[in-house]
Amino acid sequence: REIESMHRDSVASSSLVSIGHNPLTQVLEVEFKNGDVGEHEGVPADLYQQFMESPSKGQFHHQHIRGVFPFKIVERRAGAPPR
């Protein structure tokens, strides 16, 4: 299946490169510093907004999104170690 590219905004973070969100499908897409891109399902628009406004994107992702919303890697950088 062909994966449609989601627009992501660059963010200042020690662990994340960019973040995107589709409010219709509630899919949150994150690009990690290691080159992997992953998607979280079921993320509401208000939580995405809080994420983008958070002073620490990595900490917010770890505390409020990772482990809470279903996640899958959709793009893996060649040679990247598994997460």
Tens digit of each residue's pLDDT (9 = 90 or more) over 29-77: 999 999 999 999 999 999 999 999 999 999 999 999 999 999 999 988 7
Q: Please determine, for residue 2, whether its predicted confidence score (pLDDT) is greater than 60.
A: no
Own/partner pairs, 67-71, CB within 8 angstroms, 24+ separation: 69/28, 69/40, 69/41, 69/42, 69/43, 70/40, 70/41, 70/42, 71/38, 71/39, 71/40, 71/41
Locate 76 and state its tokens.
Answer: 């893996």
Residue 79 has pLDDT above 70, yes or no: no
Query: Please, which residues have CB within 8 angstroms of residue 70's CB and are 6 or more apart in sequence?
Result: 40, 41, 42
- Distance between CA 17 and CA 54 in Å, rounded? 15
